[in-house]
Amino acid sequence: MGTVKKQEKGFTIIEVVLVLAIAGLIMLMVFIALPALQRGQRDQARKNDVSTVAAAVNTYRSNNRGSFTGISSAALQKYIDRLDQYDVTSVTVERGAGAGRITPTVDGVKVKIKAKCPAATPAPGSANIAVVAGTARSVVVVTALEGNGSQKQLYCQDL
């Protein structure tokens, strides 16, 4: 009679290393994609802030018979606060002639009366946006987006 060989059950070291390598690759892909997804979500929140400020500006204009006389950052903030489901961090109303340059930041929204957004969007990495003169009822709302992470992008909305 021959000897009976007992067969052991389990995984070889190569199989275990292969599974760990695949799991590591999946984790690496998630960690690489996660910052870009977070930037995209923050940029979308900033665009929502611009829409909220635009709605507040329209409400202000309606309540003041189409006039922007007396509008200030504090006055506009009161209208934004009435839209209590939103949390806009910082709003600045810029004074002066309609045409000019606005330098927005990623943590705030800037409003300029008697101005319109330029026809072409500024190149990524631009520090400011050159708005053009508009009518007495024209308003622009501007903020900066993170974009691809290395260069901010400017976002402008006309009212």
**What is the C-alpha to C-alpha distance for residues 102 and 109, in angstroms, rounded to an integer?**
11
Stretches where the chain sits below pLDDT 70 are 1-4, 6, 84-88, 149
Q: What angle do CA 84, 39, 42 make, to 5 degrees?
A: 5
Residue 94: exposure state from Cβ atoms within 10 A (0-12, 13-18, ≥19): middle
Element (H, E) at 50: helix 13-63
Give the model's pLDDT for residue 88. 66
Strand partners, 113: 139
Instruction: Spell out the domain ranges in the chain.
Output: 13-158
Give the model's pLDDT for residue 96. 72
